[in-house]
Amino acid sequence: MPVQPRRAALTDSATETVRLSGVSFGYADGPDVLRDVNLILPAGSFHFLTGPSGAGKSTLLKLLTLARRPTAGALALFGEAAGEAPRAALPVFRRRMGVVFQDFRLLDHLSAFDNVALPLRLAGVRRESWAEDVEEMLDWVGLGERMNDRPPTLSGGEKQRLAIARAVVTRPELILADEPTGSVDAAMGERLLKLFQSLNRLGTTVLIASHDEALAAASGATALRLEGGRLLGGGT
């Protein structure tokens, strides 16, 4: 397992990584797709977010990545108000999270290695201190032999694994993953779950949105369920 703690993931000021209080959200002039959601993710917790297609799982993750803002209610991240934070403050929150997007969002002109290295480069970390980590992370997701290849030459499942390696390589305090095993087979899904579990054991808060009820059950994580924009079970 290549993941070692880079720094303590928990701070005294943030025993709750996520707190949503009465959060609702609707796109443009449409109806609310999230309704009065109350949710606390304690620091170091591991949750699966399940629910039928269209229930609002991706939308909830978009609020947590600050890509969208609640239309009602309050959102706090790492113990700080985030829902109405000025645009200039958003990178500070985002640097503390690793996000696996449903559509991967890889950079096609960069190699697999450089895609994974990008968040470390952007954080200004010297290459000597991370080059080996990047290789180990690529090995862990089964892409050690593909590190010089670019995303357009990878299969859907390989792209997904690359997106996961990029999201976790900085050992963020919070991992948000949208269907991170949707394009891989069951054995790889279990391997990726182990990676998230290992990071969680080191203190990282993990939230995985997934249709895969079997994987959610096998994970031993707390299950949250969204239906029609309402959170059932596990919320507060």
Binding site for ligand ATP (CB under 6 A): 27, 30, 33, 51, 53-59, 211
Q: Least distance from C-beta 153 to ligand ATP, angstroms? A: 26
Q: Least distance from C-beta 54 to ligand ATP, angstroms? A: 4
Nearer to ligand ATP, 33 or 106 (CB): 33
Q: Least distance from C-beta 11 to ligand ATP, angstroms? A: 30
Nearer to ligand ATP, 67 or 81 (CB): 67
User: Of 235, 216, 223, 206, which is closest to residue 97 (Cα–Cα)?
Assistant: 206
For residue 153, give both structure tokens: 């030459």
Instruction: Evaluate whether 9 touches 202 at the Cβ level (below 8 Å).
Output: yes
Nearer to ligand ATP, 53 or 148 (CB): 53
Nearer to ligand ATP, 56 or 180 (CB): 56
Q: Least distance from C-beta 229 to ligand ATP, angstroms? A: 7
Nearer to ligand ATP, 94 or 211 (CB): 211
Residues 6+ apart with CB under 8 A from 67: none
Instruction: Evaluate whether 96 touches 31 at the Cβ level (below 8 Å).
Output: no
Classify residue 150 by burial, with Cβ atoms within 10 Å: 0-12, 13-18, 19+.
Answer: middle
Q: Least distance from C-beta 213 to ligand ATP, angstroms? A: 12
**Phi, psi (5° rounding) for residue 91?**
-60, -30
